[in-house]
Amino acid sequence: MPVGGMGGLQTLRSQVTTPPTDHSGQSAARGVTTHTVTKVDLPKLKDRFSLEHHLRICENMLLEAEVGQRSGGQFQPISRLQYNVVTKILGTLELHKDIFELASDTAEQNDHKWGPVKEVLLMTHAKRESLIEEFRASTIRLKYADVDKFCADARKLYAMAIRLFGAGNTYEIRGLIETLVSKLPADRASGLISEVHRIANLGAYTPEWPLAVNFDGFDQPLLGILNRLERQEGAVRSLRSVSKSSAARMAEAEEVCDAKAVEAAKSSAPVKSQPVSGGFSHQSI
């Protein structure tokens, strides 16, 4: 039977793959209740850039809980639990007011059917052009305050770049790494680039250094080198602080010793006789 005017091949695929999935879902769903939906601990959407990935995770978790099923390759809540399931997904979007309100309004307008809600969300907040614009803006806003936060933000931006442009797009990856390093203090950036050249045996300076080592992970990656340089600098600062404290203590001890020496000198000096005032003199006698 033709489906929506599709060709024979697509019709055959639909006939072969869809019914077993749907029947399986209907069979498994007989034992689930609203309490089952309540117990599913869906994650909150933290980064709006990851909306599409987040919705996919929610759908898969609800499939595992057997409160949803695949129909024509798309996730659908079990009909008798539709309101509970869709409301559960909407609750994961509350940290982002605009996304949550759009999802809630769309659900209300479409009798809580998940398909229209998901489509509107992705069309509005997950378009490639919008994501690239947000990626560029996030890269510009990045500042270096401390190494841990900087590395966390850098990992997020790198993941965005891979998702948007692909791991093989060396032009975008190189540009991102150069921008990240430019955010570092000048001496730290210089030290990082020099260390990359040393580890990768690059010899003279080459503009290919951003791709000469892994960005993250194992085998002396870029972020690992940055962390090591930061620890070394921290150790140097600690040594300087200890040295200053020791010098201050020594100076204080010397002052105490000098004071004691002065006091000892005073106490050991001979006492001069003082003239007797008042009373009778020998001449008066």
In angstroms, the CA 77 to CA 86 distance is: 7
The backbone region for 277, taken as left when phi is positive above 0, alpha when psi lies in -120 to 50, beta otherwise, is beta
Query: What is the residue extent of each domain of the chain?
Result: 35-126, 129-229
Residue 167 CB contacts under 8 Å (≥ 6 apart), including other chains: 173
Gyration radius from the chain CA atoms: 37
Residue 236's pLDDT is what?
A: 63
pLDDT computed for residue 203 by the predictor? 86
Could you report the average pLDDT of every consecutive run of 10 residues in the chain (285 residues)?
41 36 49 94 93 96 97 94 98 97 98 97 93 94 95 95 94 97 96 95 92 93 95 71 60 65 66 52 44
CA distance 58 to 53: 9
pTM of the prediction? 0.63
DSSP state of 210: G
| Distance of alpha carbon 223 from alpha carbon 201, whole angstroms | 18
Q: % helix / strand / coil in the chain, to the nearest 5?
A: 70, 5, 30
Predicted pLDDT at 82: 97
| Cα gap 89→43, rounded to integer Å | 9
- Give the separation between CA 88 and CA 94, rounded to whole angstroms: 11
Per-residue tokens: 14:
């639909």
